[in-house]
Amino acid sequence: MKRFIAVTAATLVASALGGCGSDQQGQTVASYEQQRQAAQVRNASQGGAKPSKAGAPEKAAEGGTLGGSDKGYTYVAAGKRDPFRSFVLEHAKDRIHDRGPLEQFDLAQLSVVAVVWNTERPRALVLDPSGRGYVVAEGTMIGKNDGRVTDISDNTVVVRETYVDYLGERTEKDIEMHVRQSQGG
């Protein structure tokens, strides 16, 4: 077995050395350099990109042919929206007034406890989720969706909320909040 491996190794070495003779058919370094210089001259005469030290055109290094930007283009940010700024926060600063404590909650979280009606200025007592009470009258801002109390009757508080959809259209909706009746048991 050792003899077979030695013969095979000797054959491989002999065939490898036999191919290194002076009658080689492949290109030499000098002929490759001549072809590269001829290609550079041809590109320069056709108005192509100037070659870099490595022989690759600078246009490819700049990104012109590899998906980079066009030559001469500069980005001007004047008059354009900042892509890293929140769209929601931009519209939040359009609000003129500061939000009150009742505007921090959704209407479903608030409950009407008592109503004083049949007076010149009807009022209602509204509780927030923590149990804190607030007196509201007609025109009081309430709820997260720019709600405003429009009417207070014997056991109902009517709130008109304004919704803005994704197209920017404003829609108003009247929501009735009723006094909870205690359940006997």
Q: Is 99 within the bounds of a domain?
A: yes
Same domain, residue pair 52 and 103: no
Among 160, 172, 159, residue whose Cα is nearest residue 124: 159
Q: Looking at the structure, tell me whether residues 114 and 158 fall in a common domain.
A: yes
- Per the structure, the complete domain to which residue 148 belongs is given by 91-178
Say if residue 41 is in the same domain as residue 97: no
Say if residue 40 is in the same domain as residue 110: no
Q: Do 108 and 59 reside in the same domain of the chain?
A: no
pLDDT at 68: 58
Verify that 98 and 171 share a domain, yes or no: yes
Whether residue 107 is found in the same domain as residue 59: no
Domain count, the chain: 2
Which domain CATH number covers 118? 2.30.30.830
pLDDT of residue 176: 95
Please report whether residue 20 resides in a domain. Answer: no
176, 158 contact by CB (below 8 A): yes
pLDDT at 44: 78
* Strands of the chain, DSSP E: 111-116, 123-127, 133-137, 141-142, 147-152, 156-164, 170-178
| Same domain for 70 and 95 | no
**142 lies in some domain:** yes
pLDDT tens for the chain, residues 1 to 185:
555 565 565 565 556 555 555 555 667 888 888 888 888 888 777 765 554 555 444 444 444 445 555 678 888 888 888 888 777 776 666 555 577 899 999 999 999 999 998 889 999 999 999 999 999 999 999 998 889 999 999 899 999 999 888 888 889 999 999 997 766 54
Residues 49 and 123 reside in one and the same domain = no
| 167: in domain | yes
Check whether residue 101 and residue 160 sit in a common domain: yes
Residue 161: name the closest of 172, 150, 176 by CA.
Answer: 172
| The model's pTM | 0.47
Same domain, 164 and 105: yes
Residues 45 and 100 in one domain: no
**Tally of CB atoms within 10 A around 115:** 19
How far CA 15 is from CA of 10, 19, 28, in Å, comes to 9, 7, 21
